[in-house]
Amino acid sequence: MKADIMIYGHTHKPYRKDIGEKVFINAGSVGKPKDGDPRACVTLVDITKDAVTTNFLRVPYNIKATAEAIIERGLPGYFEERLKDAR
């Protein structure tokens, strides 16, 4: 890749890795976290010519109401269970 900074998701685990001159940032997860913290993760990235700063912010949300909404909308129960397991 020719990119200096890559931001991605999918693993639901927020992290930053610097390898040489490259910066790899996983933005985390708003739901179904896989890092043991049930709160939503919001990632702020500040890019200047001199530095790349990464801040992972945790925001609580109503997990119970979200799990109930999943079932009410007919989504697979697996999604509800993943939220409950994260608590």
Positive or negative, the CA dihedral 26, 31, 33, 39 is: positive
- Taking residue 32's Cβ as centre, other Cβ atoms within 10 Å add up to 14
pTM: 0.79
The fold for domain 5-86 equals: Purple Acid Phosphatase; chain A, domain 2 (3.60.21)
Is a pLDDT exceeding 60 seen at residue 30? yes
Positive or negative, the CA dihedral 50, 13, 59, 3 is: positive
39-56: pLDDT as tens digits: 999 999 999 999 999 999
Which token pair is 20? 């040489």
16-25: pLDDT as tens digits: 999 999 999 9
